[in-house]
Amino acid sequence: MNKPKMTTDKGVPSNSRVLMLLGQLEKLNGESMLADPEITRQITAKILHLIQTQEKTRKDIMSKGSSGMEVILATLENTRDLQTILNILYILNELLTVGGGRRIGVFVSKGGTGILLQLVLSASKESPPSEEVMLQLHSVLAKVGPKDRKFGVKARLNGALNVTVNLLKQNLQNHKLLLPCLLVLRVYSSNSVNAVSLGKNGVVELMLKIIGPYSKKNTSLLKVSLDTLGALLKSKTNARRAVVHVPVLLYIYQDWHRNDTFHRHMLIRKGVLGCLKNITNSKLGRKAFIDADGMRILYNTSTECLPVRTLDPLINTSSLIMRKCFPKNRLPLPTIKSVFHHQLLHVPAGGPVAQLYNQPPGVDDVVDDSDDNEDAEAENDTENEEEEKNNHAGNDDIETDINKLRPKETHSRPFEELKIYERFFMELSEDFQVFNFDNPKRGVTATPAAPKSHRPIIVPTSQALPPKHPTAAILQGECPHPAPVPRLDLDTINITKDQDGCCDHTHTRPHPGAGLEQELVQGLERVSLDGAGPRGGGGGGGVNRHNRQPPLLAGGVAARPGGGGQEMLAEEWAEEEGGEGAVLEVPDTALLLPLHDPDLYVEMVKSTRSVPQYSEVAYPDYFGHVAPTFREHILERVYGVQSPLPPYRTKIFQDIERLIHPNDILDKVVYDLDIQSCPVVDDGESLKFNSQFESGNLRKAVQVRKFEYDLVLNSDINSNHYHQWFYFEVSGMRVGAPYRFNIINCEKSNSQFNYGMQVLMYSVQEAISGRPRWIRTGTDICYYKNHFSRSSIAAGGQKGKSYYTMTFSMIFNHKDDVCYFAYHYPYTYSTLKMHLQKLEALRTPQIYMRQDVLCETLGGNSCPLLTITAMPESTSNDQICLFRNRPLVFLSARVHPGETNASWVMKGTLEFLMGSSPLAQSLREAYIFKIVPMLNPDGVVNGNHRCSLSGEDLNRQWQSPSPELHPTIYHTKSLLQYLAAIQRAPLVFCDYHGHSRKKNVFMYGCSLKETVWETNISATSCELHEDLGYRTLPKILSQMAPAFSMASCSFVVERSKEATARVVVWREIGVQRSYTMESTLCGCDQGKYKGLQIGTRELEEMGAQFCVALLRLKRLTSPLELRKRAHLLDVESDLMETRCKVSSNPSTYVLEDEEHTFMEEVDYSAESGDEADNDPDTADPHDNHLSDSESNNHRDSLT
């Protein structure tokens, strides 16, 4: 039926004409509809003509206050005349085609959807139904449906679903009617209940009849059909029903891919992939996909699409399907528990450690049988789905109990119980009457060090030469037992030094023609520094991990092959071996690293106790690290590798090749700590790995291709997870070969490795050449979910979880170099002991420094406690009183072993405090510092990432620490409780941490007000009374420290953090300025270091700037002190390059924030890298400036 074309009266304004016609139509609606329908027919035809010819008419009908739409809908609802119905449907199509969602919203609000659906039902009862009416009805419904949230429910209740389906079945060849019906059906299917109903009615099979191979005809129809099918297949029931059609869909996709050479129909190809994606959400669908060779088909088509960037949506969806269908593999481990075991004398009553100990023997904890039995949920198109959920539920973790947000009034322990800690605070009672001010060191003594063990200590060197004669064990595939490596007694290492303590290289630098580097890499290997035999050996024939030759150390001393501590000169050893001897040259870093001494480090290692009983020393720890002078920029994301939209295609495709081309995979184990007798497999063709040294972590290395290795990290001891920290050695490399390393059992859902962070590498060849340093390295770095299944035992009861892969590529520059890779700059427990001993030697008569042993750890290591302040000027009562009444600052670090950056920040703090600058002296005179530089020595020594030997996160034990399981936390908290009991609670408490998923340095503090503001709880102003002094120190840092970001700071208290140090010290000890200072593991995106990865220089600088901030805090709150030492302010500003501006009042600073606020590009909001715990990453909602009145308030709070 054709649309009527009518003329209108001339000379009458259109708006008056349409209003007149609508008035007539409204009048007719009020009268009996038995009257002649011809009048209604003519009026609606005239309105249609006006709407078709004049836009103003449409606006008049849809304008606010107009009743035009109500009149039209009322007429449509009441009339039975076919032509009138068609005229009104034409009018509605014209009105709703232009004007967007607002006009459709008006239509829906007037009840238009229900009237149309009712009309569909009425029209279907006609015999036969009018094709034109059905066509126009579905055309209007196709426009209205997507904007009406209840459209699917209304259609189901009105019975319109079956009408549309039957219409489709009867008109499969009528493409003119088919298209609007499919458009409506697509909207119907978006409702999950409707989708199931339609599936039962055979609509899935109906869609597959419409979808077909490549054709240039009816592409719009095919596109809508695919969209409809995709919506239907979101239902698991329908997806299972469509499993049998997976081969057909794959064939259709291949056909379109092959024929659509100009890529004009990408949406059709994407629609087919969308259907496959939904089908493969079920286990049956994934099996059908694999059986139909879907992995190969999608891999090949995606590879062909890679050069065309506009086809990214196809590649991404294909990759998502392939990753989902990739068969789940188990980690190549016998158990996910740590390869090392430390038996606990006191097992916790509950929690993961108790579950670990109560686990029945023989249980496979690597993978669950049921991991893949249940249907997988549709994967999100972003790799950060877990973090998005965390963001939505961010406020759920905020503490809402005001009583828990107030400091406790009473102390939980009696004072008599705490009095034993008085011995750690001798400075508070010292009268210095017997102190010799001419030789002050006699008056301040340190606690004696622990007895030294006599285990063999090994200094690492280079790669071993292959054995000249293969033994029977080698021929049989067993671990070889080479001749015992000669051991060099510690006392025989003769590194000559001049009187100033610097290395004398007179005997170490051969003539250039001697080819030091070439000889070194051929002959260097590990050498024992003790006269004892090899570890694990007996009778001189013990097993050694490599066939090694003893190197020559500086001074030309080496051991004979027979061992026994006999010595001979370098020339004699060279003659015996028939070649020139190489000399191990220790880099001269004494001037650059005043706190490092290789000899002293070895001595410290001897007294360090580890569960594996390490007997080797890593080169970087022995030689030391000199920060590079060049800048190391944050890497830009590589397109196709670190793509913002996952998957990370290049790496994913390489992983998929393993399944498609299994014959190309070597799958050769080259390093395995689970084989204690011989963890290293040396066949001369593969890289050699090692992690058996302090803080080392690498459990297994598997060669999968010629230059590609899968690496598995070790769990924390007495735990079955926490895989993040790594530190291992690689040797036997080929120059110029593109090696790829995949750490395959990471657990966090995202990482800064996707946002510019690189791994760290230390080259021994570079160190010997005068460049002993860790450098950022690696290309093609990305972090993504892999196909290794994570058992529910390791995932906290959750099934179907996967591990993540951190992958990087590397090209080595030196043949047979020995290189070390680490997650972050290593800082071992032995390094700390060495630094503390060197720092103590720097003590001047003006410095009061005492080192105590706070306690012994579970592993038998001592936990040092430092006291640093300035000596009193004299023994007068006034000076002694001033000395004792200095406010205390309590600092701690390294509760999480994998956060090594915390130790580097602490090193900067300690060096500044022991320095001779006027600022350092002023700071010592202002405070008494109590410092626990390493709260978790055992975790650091044994290469843990987060836990101590108890298998627990020590920073979650502060509420009720156990003296048996958490001795360092128990006694540190006891120190603070003692101070609170004697009314000497610290002015500032700060726990140094590292953050793996945020940039910059920032602080977490505690505030009642800011916590309440983040929740919906109501509280009176008196309940929220709070001194704003907690913001002062972070604000000062934001002004003077270029790496510090105030915008990243948070002062909200969360339930999940109630047992952390900062919250417990704030709540129980009553320290208002209780902080966690987080340092990034990656770099900065604001300030002076924007775009740079952070290094040890910046971390140590941060530690020093924290000290200066404390001094500025003292001066902000003590005007008299400021006036006494006003001359130091200029020195301070020059040294630290602060941005603070001094106002006319010399006792007040106005801190002006010149940095723009910063928001992290990706929301990484877990304190100290916690995956399960989130801290809000929000910008400061308040003014960050400190006004004069606020500064006065801060001063008043301390006086």
**Is the distance from CB of 502 to CB of 534 less than 8 angstroms?**
no
**Is the distance from CB of 480 to CB of 467 less than 8 angstroms?**
yes
Q: Considering Cα of 1145, then 1146, then 1147, then 1150, what sign does the dihedral take? A: positive
By C-alpha distance, which of 1079, 1106, 698 is closest to 899?
1079
Phi, psi of 1027 (to 5 degrees): -75, 135
Chain position carrying tokens 């003077």: 1040
**Is the distance from CB of 1091 to CB of 634 less than 8 angstroms?**
yes
Q: In whole angstroms, how far apart are CA 347 and each of 308, 453, 795, 943? A: 59, 28, 21, 22
- Length of the chain measured in residues: 1199
Chain position carrying tokens 């000559």: 496
1160 Cβ neighbours under 8 A, 6+ residues apart: 998, 999, 1048, 1085, 1177
**Is the distance from CB of 716 to CB of 947 less than 8 angstroms?**
yes
Strand partners, 776: 760
Strand partners, 345: none
The alpha-helical segments, DSSP class H, found in 54-191 are 55-62, 68-78, 82-97, 100-109, 112-124, 131-144, 151-158, 160-170, 175-189
Q: Considering Cα of 64, then 68, then 69, then 71, what sign does the dihedral take? A: positive
**Is the preceding omega at residue 986 within 30 degrees of 0, hence cis?**
no
The token duo for 76 is: 């449509």
How far, in whole angstroms, is CA 325 from its chain's centroid?
25
Instruction: Kindly state the helix (H) or strand (E) to which residue 1039 belongs, with its residue range.
Output: helix 1032-1040
**Is the distance from CB of 784 to CB of 382 less than 8 angstroms?**
no
How far, in whole angstroms, is CA 767 from its chain's centroid?
31
Q: In whole angstroms, how far apart are CA 1025 and each of 406, 498, 905, 1010, 1052? A: 11, 63, 34, 11, 16
Residues carrying an active site annotation: 1078
994 Cβ neighbours under 8 A, 6+ residues apart: 824, 896, 898, 899, 900, 901, 902, 1078, 1079, 1080, 1081, 1168, 1169
How far, in whole angstroms, is CA 1125 from its chain's centroid?
45
In this structure, the number of other CB atoms found within 10 A of the CB of residue 86 comes to 24
Look at phi and psi of residue 362 and say left if phi exceeds 0, alpha if psi is from -120 to 50, else beta. left
- β-pairing, 708-712 with 700-705? antiparallel
In this structure, the number of other CB atoms found within 10 A of the CB of residue 644 comes to 11
The token duo for 1064 is: 């417990």
Q: What is the DSSP string of 831-857?
A: HHHHHHHHHHHT--TTEEEEEEEEEE-
Amino acid found at 87: N
With 0-12 / 13-18 / 19 or more C-beta atoms within 10 angstroms meaning exposed / middle / buried, residue 475 is exposed
By C-alpha distance, which of 327, 322, 323, 208 is closest to 271?
208
**Is the preceding omega at residue 128 within 30 degrees of 0, hence cis?**
yes
